[in-house]
Amino acid sequence: GENVEQHPSTLSVQEGDSAVIKCTYSDSASNYFPWYKQELGKGPQLIIDIRSNVGEKKDQRIAVTLNKTAKHFSLHITETQPEDSAVYFCAASRPDKLIFGTGTRLQVFP
């Protein structure tokens, strides 16, 4: 069935370091891959997304890469800051629904 695996489940980094979160999806028909940041008591907030016809996308300190052949996609955060601390979810989309990964709790220590 449709499944998205996400690693690691927790990630602790020092401020200024980089953080990488990886996801693998199972459904070959997935063509859109968003990343969401969820802060305590809030809903998921879209931070970046990528479509299957693109290999890489960057927005300031955040980048996402997609390897469609291997069904892998990753989130890269450079120069991390304490306010980046949150739970991050990857997702794979078919039309009309998102399948979420299990989440990564990122802690950035000053």
Per CB under 8 A, does 28 bind other proteins? no
Q: Per CB under 8 A, which region of 10-18, 33-41, 58-66, 78-86 contacts other proteins? A: 33-41
Q: Does 96 bind other proteins (CB under 8 A)?
A: yes
- Binding residue (CB under 8 A) for other proteins from 22, 31, 72, 76: 31
User: DSSP of 34-101, one letter per residue?
Assistant: EEEEE-TTS--EEEEEEETT-SEEEETTEEEEEETTTTEEEEEE-S--GGG-EEEEEEEEETTEEEE-
Residues found near other proteins in the complex (CB under 8 A): 31-32, 34, 36, 41-46, 49, 89, 91, 93, 95-103
